[in-house]
Structure 1
């Protein structure tokens, strides 16, 4: 009996000794059970690259399993997410565009103020996702919106200088048409390009965009009397007159295909198309320039943070912990930073990350860094407002209403939705 007790005691002692000698990382691995995360990725251009980055993360974090759901492009709609969140089945990581959307979704957003990457963010990039002094999201990247063009086709048409005024842009379109090249590959099927980006350009042209928005709400200003919004419709007219037919039914992918094949010289897009071009048309030499709405000669790229990675407040404690770790890895690890720059072609919103030197993203960064830019404003006005703008401008593209009617309808949409502004 004494022998049995002795051997039993010895076995327990050996177990305790082996446990105390276990390396800390192994100890942590044993303690951490497998955690499954779901990420809603809105970037269709980098769907496969994003999944590859996630796989790379999983290899060094074997206790984490991540499922990526890519939603964007044609189906750029948050209605499915709202339904999921309402029944408590939303993804652990998703995106939010900031400003009014921060207020609208705040009950679902985890406070990320204590995360270390907060202190590395470039000036102003966290403002749209900050509410009551608390930071609720991590900036995805910095993007620029303008005209992406085919350099070889420009040279072929004898265009040696990029247009800086509306009149110069019209001349460029005419020169391209003369050599049998379609100037614009128009894809206006998705309303986000019209309702978000183009209207943001017109807002950015105001001397004080926020004051203009307040004046609209108070009835002191009107789209119909505003030069920038009139010029925005004139620019739309130019792309339709010198562009591919069936613009309202041509989607993002069809537009990109026409451009990639060299059938059209310009697309109204941003540096986010660079990964698609690198993958599907690696030999195409593309550049980007600002959209000149007027003849002032001061056209500037519209830039900003398009959206923020946010953590679902409804997720379990383990899921929230691992979601924050993944975001931290993307923002701070050598592998995460390099992958985003080299493969996703992101212009980082963090000071410690070297921006890419590629044509579109490199140009966006140079203009952003040198202050040769205007700021995105579409996240400042409510999602219902942007959706309404998109529908109205789509009708205009479809020739279902006149210029004056379109501007008056924009006014009406603002008045209807300004309570949520």
Structure 2
């Protein structure tokens, strides 16, 4: 009997061991395949790219089933490349736009999702939704920042040249250029090797004049309703001012690219850059100790007309034809949070459109806020263009302005005549 009990005990022990072994060696389930979201942008500045990387990494940490392929494209070729992808049906899951009106072809082609009913839009300051809203009230992008057009200057170079405060009139601007030049500092940094910077070098002057005279001037020129010679927004005077200040730019501007131009300002070798507020990020990425300021382009003899252009148009678009559109919407939800807004301001050195964020994240913007925003010396250029919607006409415009820059006499009348003739030829050819 004892031997039988021992035998039975051993049998039970062997069965239990087998069951336990079977449990331990069970094959684990396969991990879900990681899906990749493609996101195309044109950010050149290190801070903007870092904001994208931090946000997408945070999303992937929350949902490991998704990763991101971030692709940066040169700003000058960005829209053309997107249109090529749209024609071939290879649009990314997410992409950026700068201006809603210039991106309407993507909306008509079904490559932009209507975001109007998305709850995360409640996190956005309502003032900055107009730039992503079509006439029918639908919202097509998540806006991200408030962009400005003006003059970015190095405060240390101004102090070295004895300039007490930013110029408020055109004459004071020219005097500042002379003062900088006298102490061996290039007054204005220009990176015309990147053609898009040419448009932005005259943008601050063009925008404020369009705002004052005719906000639809670009569209009217494009449609043939007016001409450059008509001088509706004082385009002749804008060109004249541009020609007058070209003698103050760095040598060989067409051999200098945008990064090199920013480096000139970062190192104190140049005093100013006339461009967008994103320049602050670009310059501080190269030299974090850069002491920068912003001031309105002083196109007039009246200091009261020195107002700073601010707007928020464009932003992040979701492709509704994407197989990952739900994940893309959740990505937008993350990027609309205050946390990501703070990361944006800290890294990109730009004003976020998200509610409740402070403006003291950078000394440059503290000054902008106190000098212009709080005093009401700003204008909204959300509905004003600096570029022509037609890529052919934009090329014609840039070619004519390039010739104007190269021409040692900077002949204003010849440039205007060439522009009108070239635009008329293009319109006739397109009919």
- Structure 1 and Structure 2 fold alike (TM over 0.5): yes
Consecutive unaligned residues of structure 1, counting only runs of 5 or more, are 1-29
Aligned to 2:258: 252
| Corresponding position of 2:343 | 339
Choose 1 or 2 for highest CA Rg.
Answer: 2
| Cα displacement (A) at 1:387 | 4.0
Matches within 5 A, 1:70-109: 70-73=72-75, 75-106=76-107, 107=109, 108-109=111-112
Q: Which runs of 5+ in 2 are unaligned?
A: 1-29
Aligned residue number for residue 294 of structure 2? 288
* Cα RMSD, aligned residues only: 3.0
Q: Equivalent residue of 1:310, what SS?
A: strand
How far, CA to CA, are the matches of 1:71 and 1:230 in structure 2?
Answer: 34
Q: Does 1:59 find its partner at 2:61? A: yes
What does residue 163 of structure 1 align with? 167
Structure 1 distance, partners of 2:160, 2:199, is: 34
TM-score (norm 1): 0.82
Counterparts of residues 7-406 of structure 1 (less than 5 Å): 34-45=34-45, 46-73=48-75, 75-106=76-107, 107=109, 108-131=111-134, 132-195=136-199, 198-199=202-203, 201-206=205-210, 207-210=212-215, 212=217, 216=221, 217=223, 219-220=225-226, 222-223=228-229, 225-226=231-232, 228-297=234-303, 298-316=305-323, 319-332=324-337, 334-366=338-370, 367-368=372-373, 370-376=375-381, 377-378=384-385, 381-384=388-391, 385-399=393-407, 402-406=411-415
CA contact (8 A) 2:190 2:261 kept: yes
TM-score after normalising by structure 2: 0.80
Report Cα offsets for 1:264-283 as digits up to 9, x if no partner: 11111232122233332122
1:408 to 409, 413, 417: 417
C-alpha contact (below 8 Å) 1:144/1:364 kept by paired residues: no
The Cα offsets for residues 24-46 of structure 1, whole Å up to 9 and x where unpaired, read as xxxxxx99864320111211103
Distance 1:83 1:396 in 2: 31
- Cα displacement string for residues 17-67 of structure 1 (whole angstroms, at most 9, x for unaligned residues): xxxxxxxxxxxxx99864320111211103244323322332222222111
Distance in 1 (alpha carbons) for counterparts of 2:358 and 2:282: 22
Contact 1:110/1:310 (CA < 8 Å) preserved in 2? yes
Alignment size in residue pairs: 387
Distance in 1 (alpha carbons) for counterparts of 2:139 and 2:400: 34
DSSP-derived class of the 1:205 partner: helix
User: Do the aligned partners of 2:207 and 2:386 also contact (CA within 8 Å) in 1?
Assistant: no
* 2: CA distance, partners of 1:223 / 1:236: 17
The structural deviation recorded for 1:379 is 6.5
3-state SS in 1 of match to 2:67: strand
CA gap of 1:380–1:148, structure 2 versus 1, over 3 A, is: closer
Aligned to 1:13: none
Stretch deviating more after TM superposition (134-143 or 95-104): 95-104
**In structure 1, how many angstroms separate the alpha carbons of the residues matched to 2:422 and 2:55?**
41
User: Distance between the aligned counterparts of 2:366 and 2:422, measured in 1?
Assistant: 37
Contact 1:98 1:379 (C-alpha < 8 Å) held by counterparts: no
Measure how far apart 1:331 and its partner are: 0.8
Question: How many angstroms does 1:226 deviate by?
Answer: 4.4
CA contact 1:40–1:71 (8 Å) conserved in 2: yes
Tell me the distance in 2 between the aligned counterparts of 1:198 and 1:63. 46
Listed one character per residue, the Cα deviations across residues 200-236 of structure 1 (whole Å, up to 9, x for unaligned) are 6414324242354576446456455346322322332
The CA deviation string for residues 142-165 of structure 1, in whole angstroms up to 9 with x for no partner, is 111211111111111111021111
CA distance in 1, matches of 2:397, 2:226: 20
CA distance in 1, matches of 2:421, 2:141: 32
Deviation at 1:80, TM superposition (A): 1.9
